[in-house]
Structure 1
Amino acid sequence: MRRLIVLGTLLVALALAAWPAGADPLNPANPLQDGRPWQWSAITTRANPELLNHRAETDPARKAQLARIALTPRVRWFANCGSCNVDRVRQSVASYVADARRNHPDGVAQLAIFGLWPDGEVVNGRRPAMSWSMTRYQAWIRQIALGIGDARAIIVLEPDLAISANHGADGRTMPDPSPGTRMRMAAWAARYLATTLRNETLYLDAGSADWLYVDEAVRLLRASGVQYARGFALGATHYDSVAANVAFAAKVSQALGRVGISGKRAIIDTADNGTPFTWAQWNARWGDRFRSTGNEYYQFDNTPTCGSPTEQVCQTIGHRPSRTPLDAEAAKLGLGTDHPTLRRQARVYVDGYLWFGRGWRWMQQGGNDSRSPGRMVRMAAYTRFR
């Protein structure tokens, strides 16, 4: 009997270590593994400063480093603002979708929809109340859906939705004054996009392993319409490790299942956590310097880039976008064969890794900045990943 148990354990271990090409038997419905092409953006406008920086560079060594970001498939953010014209976003989205499908009619467009903070996330040292009406937000979302049309699309819905959980010290000092409104808006958007689009895969923001507690993430996701989505997105504006977010994804998915919302999966951002660190680690190294100087160079959203392969609590690009959570570089993510539980959690609860963070941009914001090319070069130069 003992021999049979050992043999059974060995067979299970072998099954978890490798599987045939194609769908993973532990996550057979993974939509990222549909085989459709992911392409880097060839748009040459201010909306794609990464490519503009790459093309403008004349130094071969710097150009090669810039290429590691500019020529990697990434998520394009579409954000509203107080002065934005709702009617303009449809054409902007349609142009990007056409770019994502160039030469490949079945190509995948990767979008982040960021519409809950039209006035910015901090105004005069406070979180601003939601200034858009539900009617205007709905009109904006409808125009985005028209721009996507029948294209295959992966959508990260409302990065930084986790702010509305009002968690921790930040939630006490700068609480969101309109959390219910924002969550209702996100829930409407999730339902509308899921029922209107035919080829979308939708993930709602759920913060990061070093941000929300599991119960907070579950309350946030339930109120924001996760039942209409494939699952949730982790790490959009944080830099915590992939391994920590894998464990967090498993806990959140299991907790959602206990309240009747089962089968939710995660995607994890790996654009800027090649040298991972938590908010607490940032605070220990850079917090006092930022607070004493007020210099945005040290601010969390703008954590300095690494200056060597061994420096810690600094930014580098991470694992390239991937349709599977385990590959030849899994050990660098803390998901090596010596971590069987994490490996199994990754296969069950994580669809893959996408680049929806933008740590090389000044303050992670849109547009270009004179300091962004240097940040791009340094983040690429000292990464541990291919």
Structure 2
Amino acid sequence: MLRRLAAVLGLALASVAAPGAPEPVRFHTPEASAEAHAQYRGLLARDERGDAAGLLAMIRTPHAVWLGDEGPARTEAEARTVVRAAARQGTVPVLVLYDIPGRDCSGYSGGGAGTTAEYRAWIDAVARGVGGHRALLVLEPDAVALLPSDCGQDDAAGARTAARYAELRYAVDALEPLAGAAVYLDAGHPGWHTVNTLTPRLIEAGAGRATGFAVNVSNYHTDDASTWFGRLLASCLAYAAGGGDPAACPNQKWSRDTARAWLAEHAAAIPAARTKHFVTDSSRNGRGPWTPPAGAYADPQDWCNPPGRGAGARPTADTGDPLHDARLWIKTPGESDGRCLRGTAGPEDPERRTVDPAAGEWFPEQAVELVRLATPTFPQATE
């Protein structure tokens, strides 16, 4: 699988690099938003040059392009524009596909296609736009971890959840065969579902036919926690593919020594071709997850614009882990998670004492936090 990915994307990963191998992968950097550039100019005008330099470095770091909420024609055109621009630069674009019906359980990032038929037409448009170009595709954040049945939006027969799985399988089958594409189904993060719960969901969603899965998208868990979770999930998927019961797999709550002993006994002999790979999101995990003050909020929403976070390790395909294909910036640092209320009537975010921007909009205060608290630091960010 790793060699297949290297061949598809032209990656010179640590475990396959050799004399005459291609240059290490460079991921694509899309143009930053007008709001981000305006904040940069404002910082310079106020002579806040350290923050300005850090912000410029952050927005110039390779990160994903999110596609969603546009019709098929515009989505096809945007996808084609991105992959062609990346091809001219010799970079690999990361596209996040985010248009599943019932997206985000109608929460802060609600929206998406109206019907399964509309979604299939949208996926077909993405496929036409990508064509034979190289692209790393992250498929539908939260779609597997937050099913219609998880948020009371299903009927008694489970029709909407069944439709969700069918939609994801359609997307995998339409996109994975593209000559330059590698598809990673979103798998939530280590603070959410256990490996045992998530494995059957990913199987039902078509993970067996995808390149792999994505961990920690738009979240704040550390690289260590995310990669350990990814390794456990990859091993459980392989164990289940060979007829094992996912309920028997070690999960992220086990002690690592106990989990390693299980892996040595049950996973060591699994063929490499049966083991899925994964990518992780390090865009905002430089300080790890936020621990809300005890008892302060009815719903702390620790995932929603948490204070005191920093940008994380920079994107790379040289992870040193044969299953960990790339560390990426999937979420765009500086974009809001939503108008966080934390169980209050609002409209202010009680932790930040401000009205947070809507999901996906630029959040200047958070952007500066991410710069100042980045781990590792940005050049001149603290001058």
- TM-score w.r.t. structure 2 length? 0.71
Matched letter for residue 229 of structure 1 = A
What corresponds to 1:7 in structure 2? Answer: none
Match of 1:224 among 189, 193, 205: 205
Tell me, yes or no, if structure 1 residue 325 matches structure 2 residue 327: no
> 1-side partners of 2:216 and 2:361: how far apart?
22
Give the secondary structure class of the aligned counterpart of 2:79.
helix
Give the secondary structure class of the aligned counterpart of 1:87.
helix
What corresponds to 1:352 in structure 2? Answer: 326
Quickly say closer, same or farther: Cα 1:232–1:23, change in 2 above 3 A. same
What corresponds to 2:284 in structure 1? Answer: 272
Show CA shifts across 1:337-361 (max 9, x none). xxxxxxxxxx132112001123532
> 2-side partners of 1:165 and 1:28: how far apart?
39
What corresponds to 1:376 in structure 2? Answer: 367
Shift of 1:373: 2.1
Give the secondary structure class of the aligned counterpart of 2:226.
helix
Give the secondary structure class of the aligned counterpart of 1:66.
helix
Matched letter for residue 108 of structure 1 = V
Show CA shifts across 1:288-341 (max 9, x none). 44438xxxxx643433332xxxxxxxx111111011224xxxxxxxxxxxxxxx
- Aligned 8 A contact 1:54 1:70 in 2: no
Matched letter for residue 90 of structure 1 = E
Shift of 1:132: 2.4
Shift of 1:224: 0.9
> 2-side partners of 1:229 and 1:222: how far apart?
10
Q: How many equivalent pairs are there?
A: 306
Matched letter for residue 349 of structure 1 = L
What corresponds to 1:35 in structure 2? Answer: 24
> 1-side partners of 2:188 and 2:57: how far apart?
26
Identity fraction in percent = 21
What corresponds to 1:24 in structure 2? Answer: 14
Tell me, yes or no, if structure 1 residue 285 matches structure 2 residue 293: yes
> 2-side partners of 1:221 and 1:165: how far apart?
12
> 1-side partners of 2:146 and 2:87: how far apart?
34
Tell me, yes or no, if structure 1 residue 122 matches structure 2 residue 113: no
Q: Following superposition of structure 1 onto structure 2, how do residues 143-158 of structure 1 map, counting pairs within 5 Å? A: 143-158=125-140
Shift of 1:258: 1.5
- Aligned 8 A contact 2:137 2:182 in 1: yes
Quickly say closer, same or farther: Cα 1:230–1:55, change in 2 above 3 A. farther
Quickly say closer, same or farther: Cα 1:253–1:156, change in 2 above 3 A. same
Tell me, yes or no, if structure 1 residue 305 matches structure 2 residue 307: yes
- Aligned 8 A contact 1:100 1:107 in 2: yes
Quickly say closer, same or farther: Cα 1:225–1:53, change in 2 above 3 A. farther
Show CA shifts across 1:46-81 (max 9, x none). 6xx54554356424223212113200000111112x
- Aligned 8 A contact 2:310 2:370 in 1: yes
> 1-side partners of 2:62 and 2:101: how far apart?
26
Unpaired runs of at least 5, structure 1: 1-20, 293-297, 307-314, 327-346
Matched letter for residue 114 of structure 1 = Y
What corresponds to 1:72 in structure 2? Answer: 61
What corresponds to 2:82 in structure 1? Answer: 96
> 2-side partners of 1:55 and 1:375: how far apart?
17
- Aligned 8 A contact 2:40 2:55 in 1: yes
What corresponds to 1:362 in structure 2? Answer: 336
Unpaired runs of at least 5, structure 2: 1-10, 155-159, 243-273, 339-357, 378-383
Matched letter for residue 330 of structure 2 = F
Matched letter for residue 89 of structure 1 = T
Match of 1:253 among 234, 255, 258: 234
Give the secondary structure class of the aligned counterpart of 1:154.
strand
Greater relative contact order (CA < 8 Å, ≥ 6 in sequence): 2
- Aligned 8 A contact 1:164 1:176 in 2: no
* Structure showing the higher helix proportion among its residues: 1
> 1-side partners of 2:276 and 2:126: how far apart?
24
- Aligned 8 A contact 1:203 1:230 in 2: yes
> 2-side partners of 1:63 and 1:129: how far apart?
34
What corresponds to 1:85 in structure 2? Answer: 71
- TM-score w.r.t. structure 1 length? 0.70
